[in-house]
């Protein structure tokens, strides 16, 4: 039987987490889903905990590091970067975002990673707002307001949360970036 690479297992684990929660991220279930023996798993990972760590790292990279790099590559003044960031949000796996936050509620290690990610995302948003000439303390407050409004809308479970957030950002972008 063909041995799958590490990324296939990570992707399957993330999909299982997003769809059915942490309990679904089990070696036996993933192997069955991938139609392969568990031996392939143990070729790449010492145990389930190592897979879970790799999943967290991949999620952080895909949903934070790569998004920031994408927006920075687009460049432009602050209002354009804020627009690029809003567009990039539409590409994220928000079901996975919700699942990761649920996992963090029950696992202190994951919670620490999530807090670090939230801080990094807020810091990036703050840097965009500061580049519009908003003082650092005000930029920080606005970044937190915008970011946690997004998280609140996401966690609300509303089917149109993303559209609501994008419309809100479009209407409020001038206020977010204007000083005084």
Contact 99, 17 (CB under 8 A): yes
Range 1-45: architecture per CATH: Orthogonal Bundle (1.10)
Q: What is this structure's pTM?
A: 0.92
**The predicted structure's pLDDT at residue 16:** 99
pLDDT tens-digit series, residues 84-101:
999 998 889 999 999 999
**The predicted structure's pLDDT at residue 75:** 96
Q: Which CATH class is domain 56-177?
A: mainly alpha
CB contact burial 43-73 (16+ within 10 A = b; e otherwise): ebbeeeeebbebbbebbbeebbeebbeebee
Instruction: Please return the burial class of 99, using the count of CB atoms within 10 Å of its CB with bins 0-12, 13-18 and 19+.
Output: buried
Domain ranges across the chain: 1-45, 56-177
């Amino acid at each position: 039987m063909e041995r799958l690479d590490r990324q296939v297992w990570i992707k399957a684990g993330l999909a299982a987490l997003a769809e059915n929660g942490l309990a679904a991220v089990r070696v036996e279930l993933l192997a069955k889903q991938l139609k392969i023996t568990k031996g392939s798993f143990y070729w790449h990972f010492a145990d389930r905990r190592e897979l879970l760590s790799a999943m967290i790292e991949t999620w952080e990279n895909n949903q934070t590091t790569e998004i920031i790099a994408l927006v920075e590559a687009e460049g432009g003044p602050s209002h354009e970067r804020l627009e690029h960031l809003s567009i990039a949000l539409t590409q994220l796996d928000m079901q996975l975002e919700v699942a990761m936050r649920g996992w963090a509620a029950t696992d202190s290690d994951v919670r620490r990673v999530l807090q670090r990610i939230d801080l990094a995302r807020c810091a990036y948003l703050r840097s965009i707002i500061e580049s519009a000439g908003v003082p650092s303390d005000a930029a920080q407050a606005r970044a937190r307001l915008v970011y946690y409004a997004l998280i609140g809308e996401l966690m609300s479970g509303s089917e149109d949360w993303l559209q609501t957030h994008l419309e809100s950002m479009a209407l409020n972008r001038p206020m977010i970036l204007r000083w005084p």
